[in-house]
Amino acid sequence: MKIGIILGDQLSLHLPTLGALDPDQDRLVMAELRDEATYVKHHQQKIVLIFSAMRHFAHDLEQAGWRVDYYRYGEHDFSDFASLIAGRYRDAEEIVVTQCGEYRLQHAINQDWQARSGVSIRCLDDSRFLCSPDFFQKWASGKKQLRMEFFYREMRRHTGLLMEGDEPVGGQWNFDSNNRQPYKGKTPLPPALTFERDDIDEDVLALVKEEFADHIGTLEQFQWGTTSAQAQQALDHFIEHRLPHFGDYQDAMLTGKGNTGEDTLFHSLLSPYINLGLLDPMAVCQAAEQAYFSGDAPLNAVEGFIRQIIGWREYVRGIYWLLMPDYAAENRLGNDRPLPAYYWTGETKMHCMAECFRNTIDHAYAHHIQRLMVTGNFALLLGVLPEAICQWYLEVYADAFDWVELPNTLGMVMHADGGYLGSKPYAASGSYINRMSDYCKHCQYNVKTASESESCPFNSLYWHFIHRHRKQFAGNHRMKMIYGNLNRMDTAKVDAILARAESLLADPDAL
Ligand SMILES: Cc1cc2nc3c(=O)[nH]c(=O)nc-3n(C[C@H](O)[C@H](O)[C@H](O)COP(=O)(O)OP(=O)(O)OC[C@H]3O[C@@H](n4cnc5c(N)ncnc54)[C@H](O)[C@@H]3O)c2cc1C
Ligand code: SF4
């Protein structure tokens, strides 16, 4: 008998593992393991989502005729897969598994599983992605610089999404110039989608409350779907209510008023479902494309959305497998500061940061601009050790898996890899946050000034960042204007701004 191992983010009936096995002969194994649940202290909602989705998926597999050995957390003594295989499946003819999403576990599959159990392991390529690591490597090979935009065009051709022959629909590859508006309240916010909780959800909620109470987050506002049917409902809801304005307000941010939509705006909330395998990325993109063809969503929204999935999502995975394991240790800006305590407590006077932390703690979610331009930007300006901020993002979001979190944080946010995710760092002062949100109106700090005692911390820290990294970035043509501005600034003004920044850097926890 062969054994198929189904990992917690492989919850798809189209998984290659299933295609390689016979339900009449073979068995499937799924396990809630201590090592996987605790190698970082995942947000409580992330654990509920994954365990509950796994239990529901095991049920789906049984309905489809598979025999599944399911190991529930706390009801067995195996801390990792190698010990489970060695303890229970030594007699298996073969273990079949699909390539996993994390270098750490893939390394264990390659090195430990067979060594510790003596059973031969067959590891299959993960067909749930649109670009294989080999395809990416071939695309990257010989290129002086890797740029997402060119990879994205390749993926448009490869998938045929929004293409007319070899040309992009609408005559342009990218409609971002029509996007990026602040939200002024003219368009009503989309309705919330809520799901009924069943016994499986309730059991897992109780388990997590009991076992993982010291992990970040609360469970009161757990709103994630935990079945493939609920994930499909979330996709339908997005296409109908959110996609038409996705492009316009993709970069906007708004102070929350209590589950009335400000925390998510028109974002899809689909990343956890896609990452877990509950939704197929190509099917998600085709649903969005169909909304354009049927006149239900404009091209700037649909193209922008599809770019996030076949562009950014596939690109970061390609970078991850191309550059790991050395990638994880990159720190080209030489940063070494610890992460301030408010990243866990959410208690800071900076209103923008407090809002992003609240969203994170209450929902295990923050949208891209909250992650990139607020909490990420602040860590970059402060000069936080990349490992510390990477671990934080891996812990706190429901959609966080190493292959996608690491390049986004280490590369896009911290620019610690020298620029695979952006030709210049995404550093910004408070003016950006003020332009794209209502946060500054509700803040104790003054976004209009930089050097006074109540000045917005982002402002002086921004100029400190630009000043201290002159050597790395002054020659970057995309930063010429910024260094020109700094050079033209009055010396006394620069000194005052840098002095204010130094005082903040001496005690960032006080902010
Ligand atoms: C510091 C940082 C850490 C991040 N960590 C993760 C992570 O652990 N897991 C994760 O899935 N995304 C991560 N992202 C990317 C992005 O922020 C989330 O995918 C997005 O916010 C999820 O919310 P949504 O589904 O509402 O996305 P939407 O804004 O609706 O976007 C649609 C979809 O596009 C994909 N997508 C968009 N941007 C990216 C991106 N940069 N990289 C990969 N996929 C993208 C996601 O699948 C997402 O569901 C991170 C971004 C940053 C800046
Ligand atoms: S003033 Fe500065 S700290 Fe306050 S909300 Fe605006 S950007 Fe954030």
Asked if 312 contacts 45 with a C-beta cutoff of 8 angstroms, the reply is no
Q: Is the CB of 456 under 6 A from ligand 2?
A: yes
pLDDT at 259: 80
What single DSSP character describes residue 442?
Answer: G
Distance in Å, CA 356 to ligand 2 centroid: 12
Q: Quick check: CB of 234 below 6 Å from ligand 2? A: no
Task: Round to whole Å and give the CA distance between 470 and 14.
Answer: 50
Beta carbon of 129 within 6 Å of any ligand 1 atom: no
User: Of the candidates 402, 406, 418, which has an alpha carbon nearest to the alpha carbon of residue 331?
Assistant: 418
Question: Does residue 148 have its Cβ closer than 6 Å to ligand 1?
Answer: no
| 443 within ligand 2 shell (Cβ under 6 A) | yes
Of ligand 2's atoms, which has the minimum distance to the CA of residue 434? 6
Ligand 2 atom nearest the C-alpha of 446 is 1
8 Å CB contact between 18 and 46: no
Q: Please, what is the end-to-end C-alpha distance for the chain in angstroms?
A: 60
Q: Would residue 73 be called left, alpha or beta, if left means φ above 0 and alpha means ψ between -120 and 50 degrees?
A: beta
3-state helix, strand, coil in the chain (%, to 5): 55, 5, 40
Mutate to test the pocket of ligand 1, among 246, 408, 415 (most ligand atoms within 8 A of CB): 408
From ligand 2's centre to the CA of 220, what distance in Å?
28
Span 11-61, pLDDT tens digits: 999 999 999 999 999 999 999 999 999 999 999 999 999 999 999 999 999
Ligand 1 mean position to 505 CA, how many Å? 29
Cβ–ligand 1 distance for 275 under 6 Å, the answer: yes
Can you tell me which atom of ligand 1 is nearest the CA of 412? Answer: 53
One digit per residue, the tens of pLDDT, for the chain of length 511 reads 999 999 999 999 999 999 999 999 999 999 999 999 999 999 999 999 999 999 999 999 999 999 999 999 999 999 999 999 999 999 999 999 999 999 999 999 999 899 998 999 999 999 999 999 999 999 999 998 899 999 999 999 999 999 999 999 999 999 988 888 999 999 999 999 999 999 999 999 999 999 999 999 999 999 999 999 999 999 999 999 999 999 999 999 999 998 889 999 999 999 999 999 999 999 999 999 999 999 999 999 999 999 999 999 999 999 999 999 999 999 999 999 999 999 999 999 999 999 999 999 999 999 999 999 999 999 999 999 999 999 999 999 999 999 999 999 999 999 999 999 999 999 999 999 999 999 999 999 999 999 999 999 999 999 999 999 999 999 999 999 999 999 999 999 999 999 999 999 999 999 9
DSSP-derived secondary structure letter, 439: G
Q: Which ligand is nearest to the CA of 445?
A: 2
Q: How far apart are CA 438 and CA 254, in angstroms?
A: 6
- Mutate which of 255, 348, 433 for ligand 2 pocket (most atoms within 8 A of beta carbon): 433
CA 415 to chain centre: 16
Give residue 144's pLDDT.
85
From the CA of 305, give the closest atom in ligand 1.
32
Question: What pLDDT digit, counting tens, does each position of 208-263 carry?
Answer: 999 999 999 999 999 999 999 999 999 999 999 999 999 999 999 999 998 889 99
pLDDT at 180: 86
Beta strands in 146-191, from DSSP E residues, in sequence order: 163-164, 167-168
Would the CB of 97 count as within 6 Å of ligand 1? no
Which ligand does the CA of 349 lie closest to?
Answer: 2
How confident is the model at residue 386, as a pLDDT? 98
H-run or E-run covering 68:
strand 68-71
Contact 231, 279 (CB under 8 A): yes
> In this prediction, what percent of the chain has a pLDDT beyond 70?
100
Nearest ligand, measured from the Cα of 442:
2
pLDDT recorded at residue 260: 82
Alpha-carbon distance 138 to 16, whole Å? 23
- Write down the pLDDT at residue 258: 85
| Tokens linked to 44 | 């409580």
Residue 356, SS3 per DSSP = helix
Q: Are strands 27-31 and 2-5 parallel, antiparallel or unpaired?
A: parallel
Q: 271 CA to middle of ligand 1, Å?
A: 6
- Take atom 26 of ligand 1 and give the residue whose Cα is closest: 269
Q: Is 315 in the pocket of ligand 1 (CB under 6 A)?
A: no
